[in-house]
Structure 1
């Protein structure tokens, strides 16, 4: 049984004749101890998917699913009080921008202790000792003095480490990292990723890594989910996806990695933008940007089909040579 199992997840905003479906018919699963990468451009629905799973979509957002379960427990039908016992303890999330996620009015120690109070029986001196232990675990130098520091006194990298410390405070079974290296220097990005992987191994956590940068997850994720305009367009083992992408969008993302443009005068790019509420195509959502789109793509919405261990949403998936099947 999967640790997290999501089937036909929909997230809709707005009412009336033209509601916007930010996530549509999404299927996703992850096992204990597994690292899953979710990739796609900004606006693909990656973060919204995880926020919906955690119950963090407020009105006017509407979340529905055929199945949304964690460790065999139904998250959709669960009472709010029961869900609060799981979210933050068994499921934790590192949000995109650490500087805005931390409360500027409270010290690092206060915020760590508040998390521990909510989800553990620790009290008194044991709380402060555990908070110090967490800062040391995420390799913050001079951890004891940092307990009394305010967020504005920390660098971006240290703030991110504090967010990681808060997320792992209760030894979660599933950790979700949403763009954990945003706005950090390249060297700091590498340190944060190494830290996350080490913590994942030490605690045998499942880790979902949300990013628009395929290079970030290329060497650490066992499985990849590629999203576009609120839909999953390809799911595959990481090695397979990088070696033989089956969806034209995946192929375009991989081609845009700078290493793939060595010797070229210009970087490879994918023209256009992810469609919004008022410019969504009738058929395949990628069709206006796809080099291989045909009349069927423009008029019909493609289903997910299995191909050699990969699931792909395309009428003309690419073969092992990167050529669409209709050519």
Structure 2
């Protein structure tokens, strides 16, 4: 049994008569100990998909799915109390901006210890010792003293390490890292990514990495999921997806990497923009921008076709030469 199994997940916002589907019919599986990279433009539904799975969008949006299972638990039927026993313990998430997820009114030590007290029932000296152990694990220097620091007294990199310590406090089975290095300097980004990979290996947890950085996915992920306009465009193993993309959008993402545009005046780009709430085409959502568009593409929306080696949402998948 897969650790995470999602079938036909959709998330709608706005009025019921004219809803905006930020996520549409997403299928995703994550195995125990697997690293999955989810890539795509801003607004493609990467973060919303994971937040919906965790039950964090109940007040903002409407979530529906055929299957939403984690480690044998049906996340659709769990009560709020039952879900709280899983979220933060077996499933944890690291958000983009560490300063937005740390409470400025409390010391970082208190915030780490709150997680431990809630999910593991630790008290007294054992609680403090475990908090120090976690801060040591994420390589925060002088952890005993840093327990008394407030978030504003820490750098961005240190704040992100505190957020990671909180996320791994209960040894989760699944860690979701939502662009964990976006707000950090380049040198710090590399340190945080190395830390996450080391923690994933030593603790044996599955890791979902939401990112714009294809190089990071190529280096650490076992599987890549490409999203476009709220849908999954392609799922394939790494590094196979980099050698032979099957969806035109995946191909365009890879072509946009600066190394592929050496000797040219401009980076490669697709014409047009991602469809919004009021301009979504009837057919394939990429059809207005796709260089290989055909009549069928504009008339009917394709389904995600699954093969032994990959899954692709396209009527005319690309062949080994990069053509449909």
Counterpart of 1:275?
275
Q: TM-score, normalised by structure 1?
A: 0.97
Asked if the contact 1:41/1:212 (under 8 Å) is kept, the reply is yes
Counterpart of 1:117?
117
Distance 1:86 1:169 in 2: 13
Moved more, 21-30 or 272-281: 272-281
Distance 1:142 1:274 in 2: 47
- Residue 71 of structure 1, CA deviation: 0.9
Matched, 1:230 2:220: no
RMSD of aligned residue pairs (Cα, Å)? 1.1
Distance 1:58 1:263 in 2: 49
Alignment of 1:242-257 (within 5 A): 242-257=242-257
Alignment of 1:199-210 (within 5 A): 199-210=199-210
- Residue 259 of structure 1, CA deviation: 1.5
Distance 2:156 2:45 in 1: 25
SS in 1 for 2:220: coil
- Residue 282 of structure 1, CA deviation: 1.3
Alignment of 1:24-39 (within 5 A): 24-39=24-39
- Residue 281 of structure 1, CA deviation: 1.1
Counterpart of 1:312?
312
- Residue 258 of structure 1, CA deviation: 1.1
- Residue 201 of structure 1, CA deviation: 0.4
Distance 2:313 2:76 in 1: 26
Gaps of 5+ in 2: none
Moved more, 270-279 or 284-293: 270-279
SS in 1 for 2:11: strand
Distance 1:272 1:132 in 2: 51
SS in 2 for 1:110: helix
Counterpart of 1:69?
69
Q: TM-score, normalised by structure 2?
A: 0.98
Asked if the contact 1:215/1:257 (under 8 Å) is kept, the reply is no
- Residue 295 of structure 1, CA deviation: 1.8
1:3-27 deviations in Å (ceiling 9; x for gaps) = 0100111111123431111111110
Alignment of 1:79-118 (within 5 A): 79-118=79-118
Distance 1:107 1:294 in 2: 58
Alignment of 1:121-270 (within 5 A): 121-270=121-270
Counterpart of 1:52?
52
- Residue 307 of structure 1, CA deviation: 4.7
- Residue 322 of structure 1, CA deviation: 0.5
Distance verdict in 2 for CA 1:323–1:191, change over 3 Å? same
1:66-122 deviations in Å (ceiling 9; x for gaps) = 111111111101111111101000000001111111111111101101111110121
Distance verdict in 2 for CA 1:272–1:142, change over 3 Å? farther
SS in 2 for 1:219: helix
Asked if the contact 2:249/2:286 (under 8 Å) is kept, the reply is yes
Moved more, 10-19 or 173-182: 10-19
- Residue 235 of structure 1, CA deviation: 0.5
Distance verdict in 2 for CA 1:54–1:305, change over 3 Å? same
Counterpart of 1:289?
289
Distance 1:271 1:287 in 2: 11
Distance 1:99 1:214 in 2: 25
- Residue 251 of structure 1, CA deviation: 0.3
Distance verdict in 2 for CA 1:146–1:60, change over 3 Å? closer
- Residue 234 of structure 1, CA deviation: 0.3
Matched, 1:21 2:17: no
- Residue 292 of structure 1, CA deviation: 1.1
